[in-house]
């Protein structure tokens, strides 16, 4: 993903201490290196692991529950089991890193770490009482503690995560902007997802959400704005001037009968673009379907880039993951192109994007550790996770 439409044939990728050591023709690799383990995939394509730049992992447990999850008491157990189920689904679909926001970020971080999964964990910031904190001051204090706890963690990164922009006061946003600037920390927030959200912001603050955040000092390259569906020319101008990133969630945005973000305009404007599943539990937490929608609006190359290198960039991780380059973490996805959905091969890139799906993913590594081998999870006990998921489903059904 470092150059447009470049596919290296008959090459080998070497990993040492969890990072990519070299990429070179297989014949040269055999002469130059003596490997302790060799894995051959003759009909496959190796690419960077996909990145889900906006997920709500625990919502997976509400799949098919008709809103029942909303009536369940928010608990750490629910968050943990939902995250485990989501990690299983994401690994099976080639995702090596996910960005998540929940009222139990400690559980998200702990669960991802135990499973060897890379995660950007959102630290909730709210003014009201939540399972995370009783007010804004406590939510920021707990966020800083969580950030310090995972400082230097090779798998877990953190970012501030205002959970509802319209409900956050100017004072809290201003404090957040100061902290993010002092700590060089990222901020993730849903913005311009609906016209109702925009109207409410105008009614309360006399301006659109983007303009409000601009006035409060939050529109910087550190901001990852999700959805960004309803925009006017002034919004687009602010985006370009400030260099914010955007994570699009096409399937999630279309689920409630809304509309697509102006993805082609983002691409043309050079906006850093990632792809996320958001809270579309019914559609799953893989991003193959979202990537296809993006490809239809731009092209296969830009869609695959948004699902890999672009996702890393919007999360501030582009120096560590998102492309196959020596020195980066070996977060890898291997897909089998020998099946009927991708044969005969003439244009591997477009056939991967338009013909691919989670069923062609054969192997996944995160930091050099193989978490999926031949389509089977190597660390996560799926039978146990599935049993827990079914128990939650039964509990939700019993509550109506």
Beta bridge partners of 225: 189, 246
Residues 119, 52: Cα–Cα separation, whole Å: 9
pLDDT in tens, 295-306: 999 999 999 999
Q: Which residues of the chain have pLDDT under 50?
A: 68-69, 71
Give the whole-angstrom CA distance, residue 225 versus residue 239.
Answer: 10
Cα angle, residue 143 at apex, residues 109 and 149 outer, rounded to 5°: 55
d(CA 173, CA 177): 6
Specify the pLDDT at position 278. Answer: 84
Q: What is the pLDDT of residue 279?
A: 66
Q: pLDDT value at position 68?
A: 47
What's the order of all strands across the beta sheet hosting 44-48?
A: 44-48, 332-336, 361-366, 369-373, 376-377
pLDDT at 131: 92
pLDDT at 181: 94
Residues 6+ apart with CB under 8 A from 60: 82, 85, 86, 89, 281, 284, 285, 389
Chain Cα centroid distance, residue 146? 20
- Beta partners for 92? none
Distance CA 161, CA 149 (A): 17
For 28-78, how does the pLDDT look when each residue is reduced to its tens digit (9 = 90+)?
999 999 999 999 999 999 999 999 999 988 888 887 665 544 545 689 999
Q: Which domains does the chain have, with CATH numbers?
A: 50-314 (3.20.20.140)
The pLDDT of residue 335: 97
Residue 348 sits at φ, ψ, to 5 deg, of -55, -40
**pLDDT at residue 281 in the model:** 57
Judge if the upstream peptide bond of residue 344 is cis by omega within 30 degrees of 0.
yes
Alpha-carbon separation of residue 189 from 99, 219, 236, 399 (angstroms): 12, 11, 17, 32
Query: Residue 289 in 3-state DSSP?
Result: helix
3-state secondary structure string across 97-165: EEEEECCCHHHHHHHHHHCCCEEEEEEEECCCCCCCCCCHHHHHHHHHHHHHHCCCCCCEEEEEEECCH
């Amino acid at each position: 993903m470092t150059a447009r439409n470049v596919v290296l044939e008959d090459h080998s990728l070497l990993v040492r201490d969890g990072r990519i050591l070299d990429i070179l023709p297989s014949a040269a690799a055999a002469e130059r290196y003596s490997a302790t383990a060799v894995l051959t995939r003759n009909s496959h394509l190796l690419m960077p692991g996909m990145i889900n730049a906006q997920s709500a992992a625990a919502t997976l447990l509400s799949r098919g529950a008709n809103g029942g999850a909303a009536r369940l008491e928010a608990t750490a157990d629910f968050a943990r089991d939902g995250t485990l189920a989501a990690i299983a689904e994401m690994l099976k679909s080639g995702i090596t890193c996910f960005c998540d926001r929940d009222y139990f970020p400690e559980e998200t971080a702990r669960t991802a770490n135990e499973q060897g999964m890379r995660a950007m964990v959102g630290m909730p910031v709210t003014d009201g009482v939540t399972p995370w904190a009783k007010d804004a001051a406590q939510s920021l204090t707990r966020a800083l503690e969580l950030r310090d706890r995972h400082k230097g963690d090779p798998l877990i990164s953190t970012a501030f995560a205002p959970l509802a922009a319209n409900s956050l006061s100017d004072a809290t946003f201003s404090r957040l902007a100061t902290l993010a600037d002092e700590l060089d920390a990222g901020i993730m927030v849903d913005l311009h997802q609906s016209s109702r959200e925009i109207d409410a912001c105008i009614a309360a603050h006399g301006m659109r959400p983007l303009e409000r955040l601009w006035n409060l000092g939050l529109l910087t390259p550190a901001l990852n704005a999700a959805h960004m569906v309803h925009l006017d020319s002034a919004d687009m101008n602010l985006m370009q001037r400030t260099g914010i990133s955007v994570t699009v969630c096409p399937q999630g945005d279309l689920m409630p009968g809304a509309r697509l973000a102006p993805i082609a305009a983002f691409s043309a404007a050079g906006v850093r673009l990632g792809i996320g599943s958001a809270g579309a539990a019914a559609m799953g937490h893989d991003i193959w379907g979202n990537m296809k929608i993006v490809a239809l609006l731009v092209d296969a190359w830009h869609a695959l880039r948004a699902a890999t290198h672009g996702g890393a960039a919007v999360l501030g991780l582009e120096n560590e993951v998102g492309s196959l380059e020596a020195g980066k973490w070996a977060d890898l996805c291997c897909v089998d192109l020998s099946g009927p959905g991708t044969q005969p091969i003439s244009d591997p890139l477009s056939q991967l994007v338009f013909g691919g799906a989670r069923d062609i993913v054969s192997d996944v590594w995160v930091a050099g550790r193989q978490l999926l081998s031949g389509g089977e999870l190597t660390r996560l006990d799926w039978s146990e996770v599935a049993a827990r998921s079914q128990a939650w489903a039964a509990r939700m059904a019993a509550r109506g």
